[in-house]
Each structure stands twice: as structure tokens, then as C-alpha cells.
Structure 1
Amino acid sequence: MLSLKGIHHIAIIASDYEKSKRFYTEILGFKIDSEINREERKSFKLDLSLNGEYVIELFSFPEPPKRPSRPESTGLRHLAFKVDNIEEAIEELLRHDVQPEPIRIDHLTGKKFTFFSDPDDLPLELYEA
């Protein structure tokens, strides 16, 4: 068995780099650790962290192909974020015109959760911890 220590990062390719950069930093609150212009690839790479932990690499590429993400397709299904208060988190999303789905209750844990999408329709989840 591998001796994994945790998840190092999640890579996301954005169709509109600036729009996604604003979404992940200004709406979701990720901190920019570094931003690199990879001129030879016509690409940017943005390293983002949350609560001091490196989490997301956000990339731009010229004309990336679309990947189906809904309703249920093979591959990464969604990315979930822990929150203390889901109602407060939803209010913040709504202030930025991000429309989450109605709150659901996890029948196994009794915890509240909801889904919303990033600018490229990547499914994201808020899960009340």
C-alpha cells in the first residue's frame, strides 16, 4: 500500500482565467500564493491556498476542450468545502450572484449541504462541518 500523506493539490483549467481567478479569490476567499505566466505555453498558473494550506492550481490554456460534468459523468464528481454555517455561506454566495441549489440534509450524518458551480460549471459543494 502507498504511504499517502494527504492531497497535495487540485488542478482546474479555466475557460476564462480572469473570471475564475476572481471567483476563487474574491468569492470563495482563496489566497494567491503565486502566479506564473508560462509564455511558451500561452498559459497562466495560479497557486491558491485556503487557511494556509496549498489547495488549488488554476490554469489557463488557449481553447481548452469542454468536459462534461453533469449530470453524472465519469471522473471527478465535485469538490466539497467545509463551512461552519451553511446559511451564512449561502448568503455570501448570493451577494455575488452565485446561485446554490436548495439545502439538503445528508441522511447518513444529518449535516446540511448544497451545491453550486464555478464559472466553468464545475460542481462545487458546501458541507456544514
Structure 2
Amino acid sequence: MANSAINKLDNPITQGINHLGLTVSNLEKSTQFFTETLGWKVVGGYDDYPSKFVTDGKLFLTLWQVTQPEESIAFDRKNNVGLHHLALSVASIEDLNTLYERCKKTDGVIIEFSPEPNGDGPTIHMMIREPSGNRIEFAVTPK
């Protein structure tokens, strides 16, 4: 494939994310995080391959339960290939601060850092690990 074809962006073959699948060690707690802490809705799932499908109306996530949670290996973002983190936008700094307060009260959530400027700003962000350990960044760029 020629370099010109690799760098061609005026007509990409893909059209954005259809959905994102996350493997979780605790399907119930991770589902509760997305629905109760973030306000998402459950829109499906499977019992035979335990999963829940959740959405915020724009992004669709599939949460897949690992087969043997007690034997699962935690992701190491510096040494494993895989999803480093999921970054989600929030509408305002007030919403980010509200989410921070909710996360502090949510069982199983680990806050890596509270809302702070991303580099020199103007974006403000925070990073958490949801109850199964998946890293999620929340960010807002003030207008």
C-alpha cells in the first residue's frame, strides 16, 4: 500500500465507534457504576456469556464477565497491550466535580487523581478505575 493511501483521510473507510467491549471482573458492580454513578441505561445483555450492554445515548459499551474472576490478571497499562483507558467527555466543570463526588462514594471505584488541568489546560480531567479496574478518564474543555 502506498504512503499516499495510508495517509488519506478525506474518505476514511470507518465511521466512528460502533461499540466498545470491556472485560470486567465483577459484572454487577461494574454495571452499577455505569448506571447508578454515571446515569447510563442497561439496554441488553446475555445470560449464557454473562454480559450487560450499557449506553449513555451516544456510546454503547458491552461489559463482559470474566469466566474466573478470582484467577483474572489485572491490566498493567505500562506492560500489557490493550486499552490504556477510556476517555469520556462531560458537559461542564460542575458536572466533573459532581462526578468526582459520586466516585468518592461508589464502592470499588479507585480515584487515580481528582479534577485537575490536563497539562497547561484549558481541559480539566480526572482519572478513575471502575470497580473491575478499567481506567476511565473524564474530561471537559471549558468554553
Q: Does 1:66 align with 2:73?
A: yes
Kindly tell me: are residues 111 and 122 of structure 1, through their superposed partners in 2, closer, same or farther at Cα, counting changes over 3 Å?
A: same
Q: In 2, distance between residues paired with 1:104 and 1:61? A: 33
Q: In 1, distance between residues paired with 2:118 and 2:140? A: 10
Query: What number of residue pairs does the alignment pair up?
Result: 124
How far apart are residue 70 of structure 1 and its match?
3.6
Q: In 2, distance between residues paired with 1:54 and 1:81? A: 9
Q: Give the RMSD, CA atoms, in angstroms.
A: 2.2
Q: Does 1:15 align with 2:25?
A: yes
How far apart are residue 61 of structure 1 and its match?
3.4
Residues 34, 46 of structure 1: 8 Å contact kept:
yes
Deviates further, 103-112 or 5-14: 103-112
The ranges of structure 1 where at least 4 consecutive aligned residues each deviate by more than 6 angstroms after the TM superposition are none
The runs of 5 or more residues in structure 2 that have no matched partner are 6-11
Q: In 2, distance between residues paired with 1:59 and 1:88? A: 28
- Tell me which of 77, 91, 96 is aligned to 2:106: 96
Taking structure 2 as the reference length, the TM-score comes to 0.74
Provide the residue aligned with 1:34 in structure 2.
44
Q: In 2, distance between residues paired with 1:54 and 1:123? A: 16
- Tell me which of 54, 61, 65 is aligned to 1:56: 61
Amino-acid identity (%)? 23
The runs of 5 or more residues in structure 1 that have no matched partner are none
Normalized per residue, the structure richer in strand is 1
Cα deviation, 1:61-112, whole Å, max 9, x if unaligned, reads 3216324234564321100111122222212222325452133312364211
Kindly tell me: are residues 73 and 109 of structure 1, through their superposed partners in 2, closer, same or farther at Cα, counting changes over 3 Å?
A: farther
How far apart are residue 117 of structure 1 and its match?
0.5
> Which residues in structure 2 correspond to 1:113-128 (within 5 Å)?
113-128=125-140
Taking structure 1 as the reference length, the TM-score comes to 0.80
Residues 82, 126 of structure 1: 8 Å contact kept:
yes
Q: Which amino acid aligns with 1:34?
A: G
Residues 81, 126 of structure 1: 8 Å contact kept:
yes
Q: In 2, distance between residues paired with 1:12 and 1:128? A: 23
Q: Does 1:80 align with 2:87?
A: yes
